[in-house]
């Protein structure tokens, strides 16, 4: 008996629409993030994460409206990431009804931003998103570094050290994405997940690479993640959140059912 | 029309609580208030809070609302949430000892940083996510199954002096007090406004509660 491991579906939102087309039979508009969020809530999602990938600054308001609408009818924690660069961005998201914000490149550009954000709004709502890629050669000890721009740009920063630093600066949670695995459907980078989870005192969300339900379970049992995040396996309705939870429970993992 | 005052003392965002209350009981007038008169006029009081306790107590002092909170807590149905529960104890060890409102005698303490699960895995701080709540009899648990999971996010927990004030416990890994109750006051460490159906049920129960146990 204890704390449940969390399953977090992630919606990529571009200009207020869910991208990577969602295939649910029982929703009218599969591109409407509000409808999709409602569906995940019904299926028992523990939290929902919105990743705003809108490229132009002018259209950023659309995500605020999405969060407002979802927050007025879905009563589970909501996280918004993408384009969070200033304290004002965080304030707007929290006022719209988000419970947490994900900070990624802004933290790399200026780590003190995380400190300021945690001091102003509390660590409980500051999630630092880390995109890591393996840089060690095959015969070397495993080593990962932080990459930006969707994994194209290296920074030379060690991922484990960076995670520790972000926690020292006030991150209340780490959202860890393996850029080697993201989109591959081969499963999480479990060694990376384990290394980060062992290194920090705060909860770690594993992300990147989920292709089946066993992958989700492995993130918890082998990667020691506190929560697992996935997009496509839920979007394409291959599996429901409920099925994922039942599978994890059958393997002895504590979940909220 | 009955009314509930959500006390706004400048700590955190009250949007979620307001929406959840409206959703739980659409017929109730939900008011976000910082004005003493308006607080006194409402039938029920909801006392929220997020962040660090020192900021919370400072914000209360700055707003001049501490006396009125103590006053309405004597008579009106009162619900404290998260930091709004911790602030009701005598003091907290957060921020090098912070005196609180002393409505429930007792202290607020930090979870140890080296706690582990039964299989030896390190338990993370903050205690974040959905955990089971073991209830003792109280009208606010009406319609909520025993051991239901609620959403928590906190690093400190209440340790009341009087065991009779404990109305629910949760394991992490030891049992800690996840809800307190005394007369017309009920206070929870978890977030009912973020705990889906069971959370909304608790809010609904509160919005029709007459303050008797």
pLDDT tens-digit profile, chain A (257 residues): 599 999 999 999 998 999 876 666 677 777 899 999 999 999 999 999 999 988 777 777 899 999 999 999 999 999 999 999 999 999 999 989 999 999 999 999 999 999 999 988 889 999 999 999 999 999 999 999 999 887 888 999 999 999 999 999 999 999 999 999 998 999 999 999 999 999 999 999 999 999 999 999 999 999 999 999 999 899 888 899 999 999 999 999 999 99
At B122 the pLDDT is 86
Burial code of A53-84, b = ≥16 C-beta within 10 A, e = fewer? ebeeeeebebbbebbbbbbbebbbbbbbbbbb
Decide if A183 touches B, using CB distance below 8 A: no
Does a cis peptide bond (omega within 30 degrees of 0) precede residue A79? no
Of B122, B126, B149, the CB nearest to A256: B149
Taking alpha carbons only, the member of A36, A43, A85 closest to residue A60 is A85
Chain mean pLDDT for chain B: 94
What residues in B contact A117, CB-CB < 8 Å?
none
Of A3, A72, A76, the CB nearest to B196: A76
At A1 the pLDDT is 55
At B14 the pLDDT is 86
For residue B160, list its beta bridge partners.
B106
Positive or negative, the CA dihedral B125, B130, B131, B135 is positive
Q: Taking CB atoms and an 8 Å limit, are B23 and A75 in contact across chains?
A: yes
- Burial (CB count <10 Å: 0-12, 13-18, 19+), residue A232: middle
Taking alpha carbons only, the member of A44, A74, A79, A47 closest to residue A256 is A44
Contact B82, B50 (CB under 8 A): yes
Q: Which residues of B are catalytic?
A: 82, 191, 193
The helix/strand/coil state of A9 is strand
Pairing of strands B89-92, B104-110: parallel
* Chain segment B11-37, per-residue pLDDT in tens: 767 888 999 999 999 999 999 999 999
- For the domain that residue B163 is a member of, what is the CATH number? 3.40.50.880
Tell me the mean pLDDT in the region B52-76: 92
At A3 the pLDDT is 96
Tell me the mean pLDDT in the region B198-211: 97
For residue B167, list its beta bridge partners.
none
Decide if A203 touches B, using CB distance below 8 A: yes
In degrees rounded to 5, what are phi and psi of residue B70? -60, -40
- Token pair, residue A150, equals 């969707």
Ramachandran area for residue B61 (φ above 0: left; ψ -120 to 50: alpha; else beta): alpha
**ipTM of the prediction:** 0.94
Q: How far is A254 from chain B (nearest CA, A)?
A: 10
Q: How far is A111 from chain B (nearest CA, A)?
A: 21
The 8-class DSSP code of residue B213 comes to -
Structural domains of chain A, with CATH = 6-250 (3.20.20.70)
Tell me the mean pLDDT in the region B184-202: 98
- Token pair, residue A236, equals 């394409």
Q: Taking CB atoms and an 8 Å limit, are B129 and A4 in contact across chains?
A: yes
Contact B103, B73 (CB under 8 A): yes
d(CA A18, CA B135): 40
Contact B18, B30 (CB under 8 A): yes
> Residues 204 to 223 of A: which have CB under 8 A from any B CB?
204
Contact A193, A167 (CB under 8 A): no
At A21 the pLDDT is 63
- Token pair, residue B154, equals 């906190």
Looking at the domain assignment, is residue B212 inside a domain?
no
d(CA A15, CA A1): 42
Looking at the domain assignment, is residue B104 inside a domain?
yes
Cβ-based neighbours of A223, under 8 Å, separated by 6 or more: A188, A190, A192, A193, A194, A197, A206
Contact B9, B39 (CB under 8 A): no
Query: Is the model more confident about B95 or about B23?
Result: B23
- Token pair, residue B156, equals 């400190």
Taking alpha carbons only, the member of A120, A51, A57 closest to residue A87 is A120
Has residue B191 got a pLDDT over 90?
yes
- Token pair, residue B69, equals 């909170």
Given pLDDT bands bounded at 50, 70 and 90, which one contains residue B118?
A: confident
Contact B21, B4 (CB under 8 A): yes
The 8-class DSSP code of residue B112 comes to P
At A75 the pLDDT is 97
- Token pair, residue B4, equals 């509930």
Q: Taking CB atoms and an 8 Å limit, are B122 and A2 in contact across chains?
A: no
Looking at the domain assignment, is residue B182 inside a domain?
yes
B39: domain range?
3-207
Number of neighbouring beta carbons within 10 Å of residue A97? 22
Q: How far is B136 from chain A (nearest CA, A)?
A: 18
The 8-class DSSP code of residue B116 comes to B
Looking at the domain assignment, is residue B179 inside a domain?
yes
Decide if A41 touches B, using CB distance below 8 A: yes
Cβ-based neighbours of A169, under 8 Å, separated by 6 or more: A111, A112, A114, A115, A118
Please state the domain count of chain B.
1
d(CA B46, CA B186): 10
């Amino acid at each position: 008996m204890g704390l449940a491991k969390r399953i977090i579906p992630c919606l990529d939102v571009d200009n207020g629409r869910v991208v990577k087309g969602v295939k649910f039979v029982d929703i009218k508009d599969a591109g409407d993030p509000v409808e999709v969020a409602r569906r995940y809530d019904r299926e028992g999602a523990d939290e929902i994460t919105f990743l705003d990938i809108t490229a132009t600054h002018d259209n950023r308001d659309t995500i605020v409206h999405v969060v407002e609408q979802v927050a007025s009818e879905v009563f589970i924690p909501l996280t918004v990431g993408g384009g969070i660069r200033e304290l004002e961005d965080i304030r707007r998201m929290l006022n719209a009804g988000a419970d947490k914000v994900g900070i990624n490149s802004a933290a790399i550009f200026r780590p003190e931003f995380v400190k300021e954000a945690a001091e102003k709004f509390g660590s409980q709502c500051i999630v630092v998103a880390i995109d890591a890629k393996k840089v060690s050669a095959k015969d070397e000890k495993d080593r990962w570094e932080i990459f930006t721009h969707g994994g194209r740009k290296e920074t030379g920063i060690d991922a484990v050290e960076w995670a520790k630093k972000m926690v020292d600066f006030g991150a209340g949670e780490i959202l860890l994405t393996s850029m080697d695995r993201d989109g591959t459907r081969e499963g999480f980078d479990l060694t990376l997940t384990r290394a980060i989870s062992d290194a920090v005192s705060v909860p770690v969300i594993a992300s990147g690479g989920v292709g089946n339900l066993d992958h989700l379970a492995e993130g918890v049992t082998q990667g020691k993640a506190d929560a697992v995040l996935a997009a496509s396996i839920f979007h394409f309705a291959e599996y429901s959140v409920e099925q994922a939870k039942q599978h994890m429970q059958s393997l002895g993992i504590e979940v909220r059912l | 029309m009955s009314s509930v005052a959500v006390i706004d003392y400048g700590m955190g965002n009250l949007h979620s609580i307001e929406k959840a209350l409206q959703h739980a009981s659409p017929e109730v007038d939900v008011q976000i208030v910082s004005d003493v008169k308006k607080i006194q006029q409402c039938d029920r009081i909801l006392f929220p809070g997020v962040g660090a306790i020192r900021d919370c107590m400072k914000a209360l002092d700055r707003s001049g609302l501490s006396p009125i909170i103590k006053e309405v807590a004597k008579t009106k149905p009162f619900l404290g949430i998260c930091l709004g529960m911790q602030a009701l104890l005598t003091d907290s060890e957060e921020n090098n000892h912070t005196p609180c409102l002393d409505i429930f005698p007792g202290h607020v303490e930090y979870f140890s940083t080296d706690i582990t699960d039964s299989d030896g895995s390190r338990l993370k701080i903050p205690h974040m996510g959905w955990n089971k709540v073991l209830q003792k009899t109280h009208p606010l648990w009406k319609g909520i199954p025993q051991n239901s999971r609620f959403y928590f996010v906190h690093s400190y927990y209440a340790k009341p002096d009087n065991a009779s004030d404990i109305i629910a416990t949760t394991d992490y890994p030891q049992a800690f007090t996840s809800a307190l109750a005394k007369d017309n006051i009920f206070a929870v460490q978890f977030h009912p406004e973020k705990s889906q159906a069971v959370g909304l049920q608790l809010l609904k129960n509160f919005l029709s509660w007459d303050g008797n146990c």
